[in-house]
Structure 1
Amino acid sequence: MTETEPEPDESADAEKPTEADEPAETTATDGSPEGSDDDGVVPVGVKLGSTRTVVIYPSTEGDGVETIRTLTCLATYEDVLSGQERVLYGEEAASEYPDRVEFMLRSGLPEDDESVESASRFFTELIESNDVPENSAVVYAIPTIDNDAGLENLEAVIEGSRIGGELVRSYPESLCGALPAFEDGLDAIDDIFVTVNMGSTNLEVCAYRRGEQLTPLSTGSITGNEVDRRIANYVEEETQGRVNIDLTTAREYKEEHADFESFEPFTDVIQQPGGGSHEFTIEDSVMDACNEYVDETVDEIANGFLPELANNYMKVYQLALGKPIVLTGGMACLPGIVEEVEERLSAELQRDIEVVRADRPDLAAAEGAHVIADHLAGSL
């Protein structure tokens, strides 16, 4: 099975993640904003990710919020009647134009002028088609990456849009993503804790002390994308070379079948080049790759990040290990991964460690950004 290699994956559903080709997902949930009213400044939380973008803002139909979640991609085509260029974004673009769909944030940030232009065009289409309010206070989540030019480009995309007329501000993605995991929400900023952002393009680990980021660590070698590559390789090995899958299929296997609690072998069918089909069963490939990911993550936390934190901030280190460690990002959506990280990290450190995550790690960064925006809007 040979298809076009996908762009980086960043998020997934909390219970059973999927990347189904369907229109941009817009949902309304309970919970009204505190810092705005019908005639006031509207708080908006944004996570512009390498594969998925999430935007959260108050519902116009009463209490609750609107949540937009869609693929970070676009495609252009020519209108056969007018001859004008038209733009599709998100799942529509990916499913209808897979041959030329553009994922413009390959590394998680716009890297050059061309990607800035494409990201701006995507973001404009997204907010206009969903009527995101202009009179808004926008908070957007940014990755912990040593890339000042890329971060400035992301800032240009957000600040250059028509939303955020009242305020635009950025906060670390790991901080925003951690807030929904705490019962006290925004009050958690005044606490000390460690976050692990398990993204598709980076693994980010850092400590927070009253909102201050301490000893941030970021690596591009332990990622959701690397899990996909390993799954593809392991499937070929497990089937003795009879089956070759692309990264899109590998990602789907991970999102649909990876389960640390109750994984079950599954079968799939591919079409043979000369005709006919071949059915095969996968027993080990998916979970082997996922288990390696958890082992590497735990090793990075225990033997990379924590010793440095202890060396630089011993008291913070001691206090942080007495608090829950928060998992965020797309890989944190896999069933049972919280318990696996907790068990393996406790064994590695030889002490009891508590690990938690938000109900929807894939939405958590935008949810946390919205909470912060709501607070800031109340003071405008």
Structure 2
Amino acid sequence: MAAESESADDDSFESSNPTPIGVKLGSTRTVLRYFENADSDELTTVRTLTCLALYEDAITGEEKALFGEQAAAEYPDRVQYMLRSGLPEDDERAELAGRFFRELLSANGVPSDSAVVYAIPTMDNDAGLENLTEVIESSNIGAHTMRAYPESLCGAIPAMGDGVEAVDDVFISVNMGSTNLEACAYRRGDQLVPFSTGSVTGNDVDRRIVANVEEETQGRVHVDLTTAREYKEEHGNVGNFEPFSDVIQQPGGGSHEYTIEDSVVDALDWYLDAAVNEVANEFLPELANDYMKVYQLSLNNDIAVTGGMACIPGLAEEFERRLCEELDRDVNVVVPDEPDLAAAEGARRIAEKLAGQ
């Protein structure tokens, strides 16, 4: 999918000074990156849960909306994550996603006179991509320019340099997200053999942590997916994990303290093995079969690893080690400073180029 909207007036196009904005509408979190104004050197990052809760005003009866963390905290019984599969699957979810995005933009005063680049997932889902296009085009930003690029390309840009050098290189990008594991080769910005699977995801890790905690505590403790995700994000560490304790309230009164030793580690171990298997034995053979020279060049270059799972300390390094072992050759993995923000940051840098800055 590629959405574009540019001014037909050449004079206004040249004289305007639009704000370059990078956007990632994620299944779990949405991220925006931009500078407040042309003279500012302070980068603004808007990061929020991609969710919406609708409620009725107690006085007027008017329908109102909350989004993000506030919606999840105040209305856990009705909050909706409309991009759980990575894309809005139907008209209802598309409408909710559009409402969420408009509320987010309004709350943060995001400038409409902007050059906007969206980082979008690589998925074989034409209906979902069409719905996402409607969400994007219904927003009030991107008056100057509006484009969409693959999330794996946008995420690789800050991993590969300080500018947009990745667009002129030959490399492999692996995006470790909540909803999908994506891998793709790029040849000077051209996307080759895009690969995506929903069988190895951050959400799967959360579900395994839930099951592991119940097993580790011999059925005494059952945590929900939100708690499991918090355990993963706050305590997950590959190679240097430290057991931690938590407390639950007992139904009849009192509390029960328990310690987690293996539940998180075992889930991450499964994820690493599964991710390496998908990249080494599914994606790379297809790339070698279709583009042998690109395969050879890209494995000699850095492999960019991005996405929320890459934020877990030690995970990217262990992914590199296991991938080397599986391929029986050396490969080098590079990770941006902020893997979960990388797609929005890369999109912002592309937007700068499009805006002529």
TM-score (norm 1): 0.88
Distance 1:38 1:62, change over 3 A: farther
Aligned match for 1:334, one of 297, 312, 335: 312
Cα distance in 1 for partners of 2:52, 2:354 equals: 32
CA distance in 2, matches of 1:153, 1:274: 48
Q: Is 1:167 matched up with 2:167?
A: no
Match of 2:27 in 1: 50
Partner of 1:63: 41
Shift of 1:330: 0.6
Residue 186 of structure 1: aligned partner: 164
1:252-302 deviation line (CA, Å, top 9, x unaligned): 111111101421111111112222221111111100110110011111111
Q: 1:158: Cα distance to partner? A: 0.9
Q: Distance in 2 between matches of 1:101 and 1:38?
A: 43
- Counterpart residue number, 1:129: 107
SS of 2:341 mapped into structure 1: helix
Change over 3 Å in CA distance of 1:96–1:38 after alignment to 2: farther
> What code does the residue aligned with 1:66 have?
T
CA–CA distance in structure 2, aligned partners of residues 43 and 259 of structure 1? 35
Alignment of 1:219-258 (within 5 A): 219-258=197-236
Aligned-residue offset at 1:234: 1.0
Q: Report the more deviating stretch, 75-84 or 47-56.
A: 75-84
Q: CA deviation at 1:37?
A: 11
Match of 2:129 among 151, 160, 172: 151
SS at 1:67 equivalent: strand
> Which sits farther off after the overlay, 324-333 or 78-87?
78-87
Q: Which residue of 1 aligns with 2:3?
A: none
Distance 1:98 1:294 in 2: 31
Q: Which residue of 2 aligns with 1:370?
A: 348
1-structure distance, mates of 2:150, 2:354? 16
Structure 2 residue 185 is matched with structure 1 residue 207: yes
SS of residue in 2 equivalent to 1:362: coil
1:74 is displaced (CA, Å) by 1.3
Which 4+ residue blocks in structure 1 deviate beyond 4 angstroms? Answer: 36-39
Which letter maps to 1:51? T
2:76 matched to which residue of 1? Answer: 98
Deviations 1:350-369 (A, max 9, x none): 11111111111111111001
**Among candidates 72, 76, 79, match of residue 54 of structure 2:** 76
Work out the CA distance in 1 between the residues paired with 2:314 and 2:197.
23
Aligned residues: CA RMSD: 1.6
Q: Quick one: structure 1 residues 80 and 312, their matched pair in 2 at CA, closer, same or farther if it must change by over 3 Å?
A: same
Question: Superposition pairs for residues 254-293 of structure 1, below 5 Å?
Answer: 254-293=232-271
Cα offset, 1:303, TM superposition: 1.1
Note closer, same or farther for the CA distance 1:137–1:264 as it changes in structure 2 (3 Å cut): same
Q: Partners of 1:229 and 1:80 in 2: how far apart? A: 37
The one-letter code of the counterpart of 1:320 is: S
Deviations 1:182-225 (A, max 9, x none): 12531211100001110111111111011111111111100001
Residue aligned with 1:92, SS? helix
Q: What is the total number of aligned residue pairs between the two structures?
A: 344
For residues 47-94 of structure 1, what are the alpha-carbon distances to aligned partners after superposition, in whole Å with 9 as ceiling and x for unaligned? 001111011122237223211101111112233343322221111111
What is the distance in 2 between the residues matched to 1:267 and 1:139? 42
Q: Which residue of the partner structure matches residue 154 of structure 2?
A: 176
Letter of the structure 2 residue corresponding to residue 126 of structure 1: L
Quick one: distance in 2 between partners of 1:38 and 1:347? 55
1:88 to 57, 60, 66: 66
Write out per-residue CA displacement over residues 17-53 of structure 1, whole angstroms, 9 at most, x where no aligned residue.
xxxxxxxxxxxxxxxxxxx999512111110011110
Q: Which amino acid aligns with 1:359?
A: D
Match of 2:301 in 1: 323
Amino acid at match of 2:89: E
Instruction: Say whether residues 1:116 and 2:94 are aligned partners.
Output: yes
Q: For structure 1, which segment, 54-63 or 111-120, has the greater mean C-alpha deviation from structure 2 after superposition? A: 54-63
Distance 1:38 1:340 in 2: 49
Structure 2: stretches of 5+ with no match in the other structure: 1-12
Deviation, 1:333, is 0.6
What is the rounded CA distance, in whole Å, between the counterparts of 2:236 and 2:27 in structure 1? 22
Task: For 2:164 and 2:157, locate their aligned partners in 1 and report how far apart those are by CA, in whole Å.
Answer: 6
Q: TM-score, normalised by structure 2?
A: 0.93
